[in-house]
Chains A and B, each alone.
Chain A
Amino acid sequence: MELENKKIKIQAKNLNVYYGAKQALFNINLEINQKEVTALIGPSGCGKSTFIRCINRMNDVIDICKVDGSIEIDGSEINDKKVDVVMLREKIGMVFQKPNPFPKSIYDNIAYGPIIHGLAEEKNQMDNIVETSLKKAALWDEVKDRLDEPGTSLSGGQQQRLCIARALSVSPEVILMDEPCSALDPIATAKIEELIDELKKSYTIVIVTHSMAQAVRVSQKTGFFHMGKIIEVDSTDKIFKNPSNKMTQDYITGRFG
């Protein structure tokens, strides 16, 4: 019931994606609500990453990738030729499976986005952005004394939070996370999950995960993908307690995938 009241942030309609001759996504229809965590689950190779990369048009850089259909964000089409991808990606941050900080200082990692978008005019404004981003990513206390050290010198979990802070630095509305914890140990994972819980108050989050437990812990809505199709989308509660599709049932109980 609560779901009904939520505002729709992202809406995919009849989305088909092809890698050359191979079709990776079939007729995807999915609604993602504002200020909520949506989890995407499904067996390996089912197209979760492909879908999430459609949302910030990351697939544009893959020559052979062709996207067909519509994705609307706040009601406006993003696959339109007129849409500037740079502006789009400023609005939609992304965190990748493997932490990928720039081989620069922690400070510069965060400052890069604001610099290219001209978000800060003075040094103290930039310092401010760096500090708030790191605080939001729950990393500030650990790195505030060593902002000049290379981002790559941090631990894996810290690096991933640095990447989250980097995504937050340009004040996005949506954060896409593609298996953000798959390279992390349980403690680092717990920290990130805690962080996601906090972030959903102000951001719309889409997270791809292979861990059912994680989906249950962090998300309000879950979509189950299989072989490029969406099998079932519903509230996380419903999907994990009482799925309507047999395949979903089999997947979440670990019978395949």
Chain B
Amino acid sequence: MTKEERLKKRYNSEKRFKFYGILSVSLAMIFVLVLIQNIVSKGSSAFSRTTIEVDIIYNANLLEIEGPITKEALNNAEFYDLSVESILKIFPSQNAKEERQVLRLFSPDFEYEVKRVLSKKPNKINDIVPIRLTASDDVDQLNKGNFPRDLPEDRRRVSNFQLNIYDNLVEQDKIGKKFNDYFFTKGDSRDPELAGIGGSLMGSFFTIVICLILSFPIAIMASIYLEEFAPKNKITDFIEININNLAAVPSIVYGLLGLGILLSVMEFPRSTPLVAGITLSLMTLPRIIIPCRASLKAVPPSIREAALSVGASKFQTVFHHVVPLAMPGTLSGTIIGLAQALGETAPLILIGMVAFVVDIPGTPVDPSASLPVQVFLWSEQAERGFVEKTSATIMMLLGFLIVMNFIAVYLRQKFEKKWN
């Protein structure tokens, strides 16, 4: 082979390597984009909800109030009859069956929506108050264009009669859309239009906070001790190997541990963020210890020598110099560990966080769901409304993970000292 040929071959292999590299990066990007596009296209509609404007006629006689109409009395009043009377006026119905169909255009919570508006200020008899009530899931999906209208009636969830009313309402401009605050503020529900991630958001929040409180100090202390103070011998080697092993243990095993010890033996309350947090912190501990030790190790020995040489004790050297310098790496490791914990589903299913919980947990010992488990729960539901909610929840979860990872990267880059 001549020199030119060899040179050409070298250039060619470099070119080929570059091509493969670009190809694999592009493939990865395409997969990510397809995934995100899929989730966003399915989920973005969950952030709005369809409303039907109804003129509610205020009729105090229907409120079942005895005595004077005070604010307090209004708060305890029943608004069902009053709401139904006004709602039925949007379209003439022939019989009870049709009346039921009219009512079913609305979400079952309509009486509370009416009450929320009307009980705020005293009204006069026969005042007409237009209120935008939340439409039922079927109308919602119809309005979002997710229901094929041309199917035969018996294969449609919306009857011809209801379709007729809907078209009528559209003509009157009564159908509207608004930002779906329910999705963020409400707990789980059997009705998709009323289901929200408020409960699972709080559940995840409590879980992560407990996980942070438990795992961060323990992990930091363990890594500082192991890295800086522990004698290097067989026992510490053994511990080191096992920490690495623990980081590789499948998360479901930690779920079994939580189930077996926390729930069965210690009898902690089931389905609660407390148990979830403890279980996940067991899982997260080794995953934080490893990057913590790595960042302690990355502090150059020259800094330790500098501190020791001016007469700092070992303890002072570690806590005045080494630990602060290792902090960015430590924090970003912690955040990434917590991000993993946030997305963890399997162990939570084992400790009973799959329960159907309507109430939003106020404390870590209330039963609750969590975001990934909520995704799991909703993905099993048949209603079209839950499909978009599943995707929207995934979007929220991904959003949190991206934000956390971004913070981790930012911390690492911003505060990492440059060694010369």
Contacts and interface: CB of A to CB of B under 8 A. Distances in A.
B209 interface: no
Contacts of B300: 100
A102 B311 contact: no
Interface of A is mostly: helix
B41 interface: no
Contacts, number: 68
Given A100-B303, A152-B418, A152-B420, A58 B308 contact: yes
Contacts of A152: 417-418, 420
B302 A98 contact: yes
Interface stretch (B107-115, B183-191, B313-321, B349-357): B313-321
A158 interface: no
A167 interface: yes
Could you say which of A96, A102, A113, A169 has the most chain B C-beta atoms within 10 Å of its C-beta?
A102
Contacts of B417: 103, 152
B311 A117 contact: yes
B70 interface: no
B325 interface: yes
Contacts of B307: 102, 112
A61 B304 contact: yes
Interface in A128-170: 152, 159, 163, 166-167, 169-170
Interface residues of A, number: 29
A240 B394 CA distance: 78
A94 B309 contact: yes
B418 A93 contact: no
B305 interface: yes
B306 interface: yes
Contacts of B303: 100, 102-103
B313 A86 contact: yes
Nearest to A103: B417
Contacts of B402: none
A87 interface: yes
A86 B312 contact: yes
Contacts of A163: 306
A90 interface: yes
B306 A101 contact: yes
Given A63-B232, A103-B325, A152-B420, A167 B309 contact: yes
A21 interface: no
A166 B309 CA distance: 10
A220 B213 CA distance: 61
A163 B231 CA distance: 30
A56 interface: yes
Interface in A70-108: 86-90, 93-94, 96, 98-103
A116 interface: yes
B241 interface: no
Given A112-B320, A152-B417, A152-B420, A100 B311 contact: no
Interface of B: 231-232, 300, 302-314, 316, 320-321, 325, 417-418, 420
Given A86-B311, A167-B310, 13 more contacts: A61-B304, A94-B305, A96-B302, A96-B306, A99-B420, A103-B325, A103-B417, A112-B310, A159-B420, A166-B306, A167-B309, A170-B310, A170-B311
13 contacts: A58-B308, A63-B231, A86-B313, A93-B309, A98-B302, A101-B306, A113-B312, A116-B312, A159-B420, A163-B306, A166-B306, A170-B310, A170-B311
